[in-house]
C-alpha cells in the first residue's frame, strides 16, 4: 500500500513540475470579499520575456529578488521553470511562485502564513487574502517587468 501511495505522490509531484509554466490568468468572480479583477491582474497577469531566454528570465528573477526594498525576498525552492520565494514580515510570510519560460514570466500564489494564508484559492491564484498581499505582489511584478 505504501508503494502505491508513494507512486501516486511521485506522479503528482512530476505533474506539478510539468505544469510550472506561465498561463493566462482568467478572472472568476468568487463573490463577496474576494479581490477585484483589476487588483488581481496587477499581480497575476503575464509579463512578456523580451529576451526570449528562460535562463535570462531566471537570472532576472533572482536579481530582482535581491534588489527589493524592505523585507528580503528569500529563495525557498527552485525547479524546472519556477522559483518559489518567501517574504517574512512581522510574523507573517508570503510565498510567491514565479514561473517562467522563453516567452513569459508570471507570479502565482505559492502559500502564506498567518495573515497571508489564502482564504479562497483557485489554481495558483488567490482571490481572498489580506489586501497588502496584492500591494506587495504588484510591486514585485512591476520590478520584474522593468528588469525584463
DSSP state of 46: -
User: Is residue 1's pLDDT more than 70?
Assistant: no
3-class DSSP assignment, residue 19: coil
What is the pLDDT at residue 24? 93
**Whether 98 contacts 82, CB under 8 Å:** yes
Number of H helices, E strands in the chain: 4, 7
- Beta-strand ranges (E) seen in the chain are 47-48, 73-79, 82-89, 92-100, 104-113, 120-122, 125-128
pLDDT band for position 21 (50/70/90)? confident
Contacts of 7 (CB under 8 A, 6+ apart): none
Phi, psi of 72 (to 5 degrees): -65, 150
- Tens digit of each residue's pLDDT (9 = 90 or more) over 97-133: 999 999 999 999 999 999 999 999 999 999 999 988 9
Amino acid at each position: 500500500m505504501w508503494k502505491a501511495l508513494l507512486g501516486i505522490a511521485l506522479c503528482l509531484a512530476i505533474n506539478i513540475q510539468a505544469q510550472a509554466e506561465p498561463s493566462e490568468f482568467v478572472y472568476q468572480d468568487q463573490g463577496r470579499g474576494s479581490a477585484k479583477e483589476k487588483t488581481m491582474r496587477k499581480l497575476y497577469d503575464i509579463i512578456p520575456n523580451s529576451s526570449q531566454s528562460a535562463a535570462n528570465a531566471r537570472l532576472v528573477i533572482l536579481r530582482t529578488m535581491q534588489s527589493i526594498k524592505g523585507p528580503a525576498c528569500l529563495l525557498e525552492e527552485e525547479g524546472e521553470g519556477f522559483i518559489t520565494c518567501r517574504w517574512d514580515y512581522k510574523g507573517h510570510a508570503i510565498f510567491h511562485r514565479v514561473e517562467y519560460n522563453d516567452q513569459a514570466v508570471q507570479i502565482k500564489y505559492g502559500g502564506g502564513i498567518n495573515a497571508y494564508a489564502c482564504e479562497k484559492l483557485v489554481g495558483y491564484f488567490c482571490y481572498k487574502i489580506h489586501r497588502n498581499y496584492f500591494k506587495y505582489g504588484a510591486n514585485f511584478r512591476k520590478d520584474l517587468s522593468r528588469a525584463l
